Chain A
Amino acid sequence: MKQKTVTCGLAASVIAIVAACAALAAALIPPWVAAAVLVAAFPVLVLSLGLWWRAPGGEEDIPFIGY
């Protein structure tokens, strides 16, 4: 996956989570809306963070498919 795509995903998820938490704290949105945003953004944050700081990758490979 391209580094630019990963960085965009990471930035978008961080912005969405911060915005949802801030809006909830300011009582601008109900809790279920904030929860919905988090449910969508948290998985992207976890994966993007991992892909963003991962070690340099090798080439795609074919899994072991048996003898």
Chain B
Amino acid sequence: MIEYLVFAAVFGLLLLGIHRKVIARIQIRPGPPIWQEILHALKFSFKSTWVPKTASSALFVAVVLVGIGIWSAALFVVLAGESILILFAIYMLHKIVEHGYGLSSGSPYGKFGGVRSVISAASEIPLFVTIAAIYLFTGSLILRDITAYQDIHGPLLLIAPPVALAMYIVILSKMPYGPFSIVESKELVSGYKTEHFGAWRAGLAVTDGLKTFVLLYAFVAIFIGAVPFWAALIIMTAVLISLSFVCAVTPMLSPFDSVTVQGIITGLMLIYAGCLWWVMS
């Protein structure tokens, strides 16, 4: 089972490298090689590492462990076809972990990143609408049941495109260099990641790799259905490239605008789910 974790982390980092490359090419820059994020993770492992004097040592280290741990758990939940409620609970935990990264460091940049992580919680609300709408169609929140439903009725992507769009936006809000990436925007240096350097940053890179893999794999499983693993990897890459296009051509929103846009999307999704419930009941 360790091979799943290692593969997911490495492939997730490769996807993030492709993300950077696609953005760079759209912006007419050469961009880094696609394996740059993997090299970053390895490079940070060899760097000098200590805990800053201003940091809360226990929290500073613990959040890195928790970050890797929760996305490892999420990977097993998705691979086992278990409840997507667990997956989304883990997604919510990640918000707390981001907050912990920022607050534990003692750096104002990290703290601002952590605070922005809290105010951008609006990006998670479409998740609840996604869950509700999926349940209205499939009558279950177990991933195995959802894929079984799609075997009979076809992909949920075609049956309920707005639901897929809502989850797409949730994933977009977690992509680096995107319109909603206010938690690690450049005026905050690296946001909540600023003071986690060396081996800590390598741990963060592994977390990011796992998170990217899990979210994209879950998207494929929930909205496309059961496909061979190699096909899932290809579809994940295609979805990622579409996300990269969005990130490349949209400016990073200010924190206020980011929350406003996400709030509007959530409102529209709630109306859709309400109409769906009214029609189906």
Instruction: Please report A residues at the B interface, Cβ cutoff 8 Å.
Output: 1, 17, 20-21, 24, 31-32, 34-35, 38-40, 42-44, 46-47, 49-51, 53-66
How many angstroms from the CA of A58 to the CA of B107 in the assembled complex? 19
* Distance between B186 CB and nearest chain A CB, rounded to angstroms: 15
Contacting pair A58 B50 (CB below 8 A): yes
Contacting pair B1 A54 (CB below 8 A): no
Interface residues on B, range: 35 or more
How many angstroms from the CA of A65 to the CA of B46 in the assembled complex? 26
A interface: dominant SS: helix
Q: Which of A44, A49, A57, A65 contacts B107 (CB 8 A)?
A: A65
Contacting pair B48 A55 (CB below 8 A): yes
Contacting pair B49 A54 (CB below 8 A): yes
Residues in chain A near residue B1, CB distance under 8 A: 20-21, 24, 31, 34-35, 38
Residues in chain B near residue A66, CB distance under 8 A: 108
- Starting from the known contacts A17-B2, A50-B49, A60-B52, 10 additional A-B residue pairs (CB-CB under 8 Å) come to A1-B50, A34-B1, A38-B72, A46-B202, A47-B61, A47-B64, A50-B199, A59-B50, A62-B52, A66-B108
How many angstroms from the CA of A60 to the CA of B197 in the assembled complex? 12
Residues in chain B near residue A54, CB distance under 8 A: 45-49, 198-199
Residue of B nearest to A55 (CB): B48
Residues in chain B near residue A56, CB distance under 8 A: 48
Residues in chain B near residue A42, CB distance under 8 A: 2, 5, 68-69, 72
Q: Which of A31, A35, A59, A63 contacts B195 (CB 8 A)?
A: A63
Q: Mark B199-234, 1 if CB is under 8 A from A, else 0.
A: 110110010000000000000000000000000000
Residue of A nearest to B51 (CB): A60
How many angstroms from the CA of A50 to the CA of B54 in the assembled complex? 22
How many angstroms from the CA of A16 to the CA of B105 in the assembled complex? 30
* Distance between A36 CB and nearest chain B CB, rounded to angstroms: 8
Residue of A nearest to B194 (CB): A63
Contacting pair B5 A38 (CB below 8 A): yes
Contacting pair B52 A65 (CB below 8 A): no
The reply on B246 being an interface residue by CB < 8 A is: no
Could you write out 11 A-B pairs with CB less than 8 Å apart? A42-B2, A42-B5, A43-B64, A47-B199, A50-B199, A51-B199, A55-B47, A57-B50, A61-B50, A63-B52, A65-B54
Q: Which of B2, B64, B69, B194 contacts A21 (CB 8 A)?
A: B2
Q: Mark B42-76, 1 if CB is under 8 A from A, else 0.
A: 00111111111110000001001111110011001
* Distance between A4 CB and nearest chain B CB, rounded to angstroms: 16
